[in-house]
Structure 1
Amino acid sequence: MSSIIQLLPDHVANQIAAGEVVQRPASVVKELLENAVDAQATEIKLLIKEAGKALVQVIDNGIGMSVTDARMCFERHATSKIRLAEDLFQLNTKGFRGEALASIAAIAYVELKTRQNNDQLGTQIVIEGSKIVSQQPTVTPQGTSIAVKNLFFNIPARRNFLKSDVVENKHIIDEFQRVVLAHPNIHFFLYVNGSEVYNLPAGNLRQRIVAVFSGKMNERILPLQEHTEVVGINGFIGKPEFAKKSRTEQFLFVNDRFIKSGYLHHAIMGGFEGLIREGLQPSYFIYLQIDPKHLDINIHPTKTEIKFDDEHTIYAILRSAVKHCLGQFKVAPALDFEKDPSLETPYELYGKEVSIPTIQVDPNFNPFGEAPKQQRGTSSYYKGPEPAWKALYTDLPNDLPVIEAEFVPSQTNLFESTRVETEFAQVQQLFNKYVLAKTANGLLIVDQNRAHQRILYEDFLKNITVTKGFSQQLLFPIEMHLSGPKKMLFDDMKDALYHIGFQFDTTNSDGVISILGIPPLIQESDAEDVINQLITVISEGSVSDAFDLNDKIAKSLAMSVAVRNGQSLSQSELESILQRLFSCMDSTVSPFGKPIQYTFTQEELDRKFTL
């Protein structure tokens, strides 16, 4: 029997190893950005084309590489941060160059340009699928530029499994945000398909958070700081009243490295206990500083999961720090049972001068005297002249002509036919939630919210794909400020919103858009919230193609606009819901797959009363 086990060729082994490190274009972004940070760069540019499938390029002004380092960084098992096995537990950097570049070069076209400060010429290396095509001197600025083109060109199966550009861009922006929030002292740029999405100058942590998540974030966060022998904690946490359903604004760093830890997240949520409703998530940007010898960061290839040798102590300290921060800024309620409420100054009297009370006495007042005439049966409050209209009815002559008018009975029969004629009889509303109707088959019960969702969903989807919906022009445009990634998502769904009935002016600068028109079903006061909710839904979900994007937009709008449970409806509105529901393509389930209606037959009702 022949041997079964054999050694893999180098190019096959490189491609398999690359699959562990490079899962999607965002993985390349993470590695290249971290390399540029450790190259002591003060300015880093990230360029993306076609969601990273065509190009991922990082340009920095760091220390650059020598000719030998430029060649060695693409070799397998080459690294700049490990010399001995013990170094795995003393890591203070993310890695200058090496190891990951070999995996990236195995599945893409890579062009490297680099030059050190003291060299007159730099080095250019071109690699195609682990094969070095050329290496030559070149004129290039100080620093390093790495361009990764046609990712997964030699692994078409992996390329076919990539998601849509919207999803891949979202993952890229997530990785970009994690790096820029960990290093606010570096100037970062992000360009997507030639458009500038982020321009983040160097500054402090608060300035970086505000620049990434728009100016409103400045008033929504509280500073957090706690230092102990075990761990140092600093950063910011969001105020409880601004908690959201999504976790897009939750960042936890250990030694300036982004991590995911459900255990520490539970500690942070414990600090907010009793201050936010169930299902909502607070914002936080928390940075932990721990001695590297107490960490193990190599339990996961992406290094986003970490083990602590004393995680229980860190849990308790982090939870207490969050509680202390909320109490320090008077966000959490404080109870003092020894305080005497009678000694507290009322809130409305703060800052007012104390004045001696005075008593006004009428020396001529006689309690046995006759009351003034104006107080007898007439009001003394109005002392002005007689109203002018009274003069119209005074001194009228008695011989005014009498005008006879012909009586025309009101034609009420013109409106008798406006009532909606349906096949349903005796339509009623129950608990302001269900619509009841007697049908030939029995008693029909319809959930009004889900029914209206189905009606609106099919209407919105028809407007997007077939006929354009109506638009209601606004007297005063509504201005919205969208940050970089939100502006990208808005541009992706702008055409669909236009067909639904929205009208925009996007010629403003700094990510400001003006809403000029809205669909008739949407209130003017809700327009901005509806669009923000749409952006959140698209950013948190996976979108495979254009139809999937339109479907999610229609579902989100239907959920936002539909009548709520608990809302009282008129008789005509109840009949209209039933009539429009049974005109839908599917009247049995809502757009989210939940049942809309149920019919109780006479047999079912009879069984309820059978002994």
Structure 2
Amino acid sequence: MSKIKKLSINEAKKIAAGEVVERPSNIVKELVENSIDAGSKNISIYIQDGGKKLIRVVDDGFGMSEEDAKLCFEHHATSKITKVDDLDKIYTYGFRGEALSTISSISKIALITKEEDVQFGIKLLLEDGQIISEEKVSASRGTDIKVENIFYNVPARQKFLKKSETEWRNISQLFQSYCFAYKNIHFKLFNDDNIIFNCPTVKNIKERIVQVWNLSLSESCIKIEDENQKYNFSIEGYISNHQVHQFNRNRIYLFVNNRWIKNIELSRSLLKGYQNVLPSGRFPVAVILIKVDPKNVDINVHPRKEEVRLLHSYQIEQALQLSVKVALERNLSKQLNKNVKISGAKILPFEQSLQLYAETDFGQDYDNLITPARQSDFSRDTLIRVEQPFAAEFNLSNNLNKLEIEELFGSRISSRESSSEQLNVSKKESRFKFLGQVKKTYLLMESEEGLLVVDQHAAHESVLFDLFTKRFDTVSTVKLVFPHIINLQESELDTVIEYLPILKKYGIESERLGAAQLVITATPVHLKDASLDDLLSQVVSWINEFENLDNKDLESELSKKLCAQMACKASIKAGDDVSELQVDQLMKDLYNVENRFTCPHGRPTFWTLSTNEIEKKFKRDYKS
């Protein structure tokens, strides 16, 4: 008896559905793109339970005849192409004829559609890809399609759907992409019977930014444009200026021929244009539309059509990078009333570096570079031994000084004499000899092995992070005299609202205020001077980053991130003077930290130059 069996068509469709439909947003994508291809001027999208319970798309496009309405659910049935050569000149979204067939195989569908010149429309009900009911109904021109209970008949796929908030967030981001790509269409988005977005037609992208995001962000955006006749492409759009940035890439939208795409090379080119403009780990806001000849782009890369291949990709990437750089320079020059050039750091060739070494004047004064070990300019020390539990509250200034740490940890040094005694004891016990500071940022230490260079901020950050994660059971908070109101997108607020108890545990007391506002009433003392808007944006990005974890692991990761943020704000900074006592205590504390080699953000805390390596540099050989 044969072991190999041919699957039925319906079972094959269910298995293959994962290539087209992975989550509810994929269904929304296919249905909205069908509406756009049908010439719709008004498109309304209704979502329930993150799209898992219901996805409904209503448009006023051309509609379908009774025959086409039945045929559209057949596999590889399409009105967009007739042969593969048509892909060279295709302007529509769909062309494979797989989407409706696949969607109907894993959900329950109700379709009502009507053409303009007919009296009645047609209503079809489908289950498991089969039409179970059809009737003529009164209807307006266009199409109304409902998709319910996705993956109801494929439990193995249904259990991998994310939380409703996560699925809704993906749908919301997808919706925004269509608003940017099609200014001449009136889009509406409803979530659980509440209208979230109402975006009438506009004249330009900047007006869409106001509708989809907000006026303030729109005013911070600058226009970019470029055209290349040789390679037949053009670039236009809006990018944020040097003062606006995000903690993730969620507001970077790249389009090729109005198709929202994911392209690593183009994203990298955009970020290169911002080189030396944005802080590390921050991302711009961008809506960029690239127009190319359809013959020079391959959209048939993946069934979901989210990736494309460009024939002249290098030229487009270089043009995008230059357009961004020029736009930023022009904007800065206008603000400063003088010409500004943005340039990256250049790496000298080896021969030039040798020449530079030969021309170096070793007789010049380097006192401004290396500061000898001396008592701090502060009236109070900034670092002492941390031994005892936290106190209830303390006053945090820009620099965490001795008195404030004493109040925090209940440890006191009564006089300069006691400091001197501790210094004498610490000198005997210390494994390192403090030589001085470089640029008031790096500590030079002599050890038995050679020279140790320590990043004072990263080292102290590592010490405090270790302390916070182990002993931060109760947090001292500062009540805000004037509560701080933060404006978020409703999807962002829905994301963070579930984790407000965790934030409260770490001293950030807040509550919801309206549909898209969060009011902060208290903050931990360590974050008193931090930007609360930036902090909440970071929290949203962290939650999105760890959304695949279960609640316990997500809470653990979120706690680590908050501890890292507090350690960063509370630690000594680059540019701070430190005393020999403070350095000695810092090195002892760092030596006791489990992960002493890097700070919480992954930067190294120190590096060593062995005596042997130093001797090699000076071509010394004491053995001969």
Flag whether TM exceeds 0.5 (same fold).
yes
User: How far apart are the structure 2 equivalents of 1:96 and 1:86?
Assistant: 12
User: Aligned pair 1:188/2:198, yes or no?
Assistant: no
Aligned AA for 2:123? Q
Change (3 A) 1:475 1:198: same
Give 1:299-318 correspondences, 5 Å limit.
299-318=301-320
Match of 2:40 in 1: 41
Q: CA RMSD in A?
A: 4.3
Change (3 A) 1:263 1:497: closer
Give 1:172-321 correspondences, 5 Å limit.
172-203=171-202, 204-229=204-229, 230-276=232-278, 279-321=281-323
Q: What does the per-residue CA deviation read over 1:559-582, in whole Å, with 9 as the maximum and x for residues that have no partner?
A: 22123354789999x999999x99
User: Aligned pair 1:476/2:478, yes or no?
Assistant: no
User: How far apart are the structure 1 equivalents of 2:51 and 2:598?
Assistant: 37
Change (3 A) 1:60 1:529: same
User: Aligned pair 1:164/2:163, yes or no?
Assistant: yes
Aligned AA for 1:256? N
Q: What does the per-residue CA deviation read over 1:489-513, in whole Å, with 9 as the maximum and x for residues that have no partner?
A: 233323433454444453446x233
Give the CA deviation at 1:206: 0.7
User: How far apart are the structure 1 equivalents of 2:299 and 2:16?
Assistant: 19
Give the CA deviation at 1:450: 3.0
TM-score, with normalisation over the residues of structure 1?
A: 0.70
User: 2:459·2:596 contact (CA, 8 Å) conserved in 1?
Assistant: no
The one of 542, 545, 550 aligned to 2:550? 545
User: How far apart are the structure 2 equivalents of 1:523 and 1:202?
Assistant: 43
Give the CA deviation at 1:118: 4.0
User: 1:242·1:282 contact (CA, 8 Å) conserved in 2?
Assistant: yes
Q: What does the per-residue CA deviation read over 1:167-190, in whole Å, with 9 as the maximum and x for residues that have no partner?
A: 333332332222222112222222
Which is greater in Rg? 1
Match of 1:351 in 2: none
User: 1:108·1:152 contact (CA, 8 Å) conserved in 2?
Assistant: yes
Change (3 A) 1:291 1:54: same
Q: What does the per-residue CA deviation read over 1:274-318, in whole Å, with 9 as the maximum and x for residues that have no partner?
A: 444555433322111112122211022222222223333333433
User: 1:538·1:552 contact (CA, 8 Å) conserved in 2?
Assistant: no
Comparing 208-217 with 588-597, which one deviates more in the overlay?
588-597
Give 1:347-386 correspondences, 5 Å limit.
none
User: How far apart are the structure 1 equivalents of 2:518 and 2:31?
Assistant: 33
User: 1:296·1:307 contact (CA, 8 Å) conserved in 2?
Assistant: yes
Q: What does the per-residue CA deviation read over 1:426-483, in whole Å, with 9 as the maximum and x for residues that have no partner?
A: 599988999x9xxxxxxxx9954234334434677x67xxxxx776432212122112
Comparing 135-144 with 79-88, which one deviates more in the overlay?
135-144
Match of 1:361 in 2: none
Match of 1:555 in 2: 560
Aligned AA for 1:305? E
User: 2:76·2:96 contact (CA, 8 Å) conserved in 1?
Assistant: no
Aligned AA for 1:23? E
Give the CA deviation at 1:245: 4.8
Give the CA deviation at 1:79: 0.9
Give the CA deviation at 1:67: 1.8
The one of 516, 522, 525 aligned to 2:521? 516
Aligned AA for 1:449? E
Change (3 A) 1:254 1:323: same
User: 2:223·2:236 contact (CA, 8 Å) conserved in 1?
Assistant: yes
Comparing 222-231 with 49-58, which one deviates more in the overlay?
49-58
Aligned AA for 2:89? Q
Give 1:99-114 correspondences, 5 Å limit.
99-114=98-113
Aligned AA for 2:170? H
User: How far apart are the structure 2 equivalents of 1:195 and 1:559?
Assistant: 38
Give 1:527-542 correspondences, 5 Å limit.
527-542=532-547
Aligned AA for 2:493? K
Give the CA deviation at 1:197: 3.2
User: How far apart are the structure 2 equivalents of 1:267 and 1:588?
Assistant: 36
Aligned AA for 1:298? N
Give 1:63-74 correspondences, 5 Å limit.
63-74=62-73
Comparing 255-264 with 57-66, which one deviates more in the overlay?
57-66
Give the CA deviation at 1:5: 5.3
Comparing 284-293 with 168-177, which one deviates more in the overlay?
168-177
Match of 2:450 in 1: none
User: How far apart are the structure 1 equivalents of 2:74 and 2:119?
Assistant: 26
User: How far apart are the structure 2 equivalents of 1:544 and 1:146?
Assistant: 34
Match of 2:571 in 1: 564
User: Aligned pair 1:452/2:496, yes or no?
Assistant: no
User: 2:478·2:528 contact (CA, 8 Å) conserved in 1?
Assistant: no
Change (3 A) 1:577 1:541: farther
Match of 2:331 in 1: 329
Q: Is the partner of 2:531 in helix, strand or coil?
A: helix
Change (3 A) 1:528 1:137: same
User: How far apart are the structure 1 equivalents of 2:7 and 2:506?
Assistant: 56
User: 1:197·1:485 contact (CA, 8 Å) conserved in 2?
Assistant: no
Unaligned runs of 5+ in 1: 337-414, 437-444, 464-468, 599-610
Comparing 251-260 with 184-193, which one deviates more in the overlay?
184-193
Aligned AA for 1:172? I
User: 1:451·1:596 contact (CA, 8 Å) conserved in 2?
Assistant: no
Q: Is the partner of 1:329 in helix, strand or coil?
A: helix
Q: Is the partner of 1:479 in helix, strand or coil?
A: strand
Change (3 A) 1:286 1:120: same
User: How far apart are the structure 2 equivalents of 1:420 and 1:458?
Assistant: 22
Give the CA deviation at 1:98: 4.9
Give the CA deviation at 1:102: 0.7
Change (3 A) 1:476 1:184: same
Give the CA deviation at 1:273: 4.2
User: How far apart are the structure 2 equivalents of 1:544 and 1:51?
Assistant: 19
User: How far apart are the structure 1 equivalents of 2:246 and 2:503?
Assistant: 24
Change (3 A) 1:330 1:576: closer
Aligned AA for 1:210? V
Give the CA deviation at 1:254: 0.9
Comparing 270-279 with 79-88, which one deviates more in the overlay?
270-279
User: How far apart are the structure 1 equivalents of 2:226 and 2:249?
Assistant: 24
User: 1:433·1:565 contact (CA, 8 Å) conserved in 2?
Assistant: no
Match of 2:502 in 1: 496
Change (3 A) 1:19 1:528: closer
User: How far apart are the structure 1 equivalents of 2:588 and 2:318?
Assistant: 56
User: How far apart are the structure 2 equivalents of 1:282 and 1:531?
Assistant: 17
Q: What does the per-residue CA deviation read over 1:522-576, in whole Å, with 9 as the maximum and x for residues that have no partner?
A: 316533332222112223443433334433432232122123354789999x999
Aligned AA for 1:222? I
Q: What does the per-residue CA deviation read over 1:111-135, in whole Å, with 9 as the maximum and x for residues that have no partner?
A: 2222334444432222222122212
User: 1:73·1:99 contact (CA, 8 Å) conserved in 2?
Assistant: no
Change (3 A) 1:273 1:512: closer
Unaligned runs of 5+ in 2: 342-406, 414-421, 446-455, 607-622
Change (3 A) 1:9 1:232: same
Change (3 A) 1:191 1:472: farther
User: How far apart are the structure 2 equivalents of 1:253 and 1:473?
Assistant: 46
User: How far apart are the structure 2 equivalents of 1:210 and 1:552?
Assistant: 34
Q: Is the partner of 1:240 in helix, strand or coil?
A: coil
Match of 2:78 in 1: 79
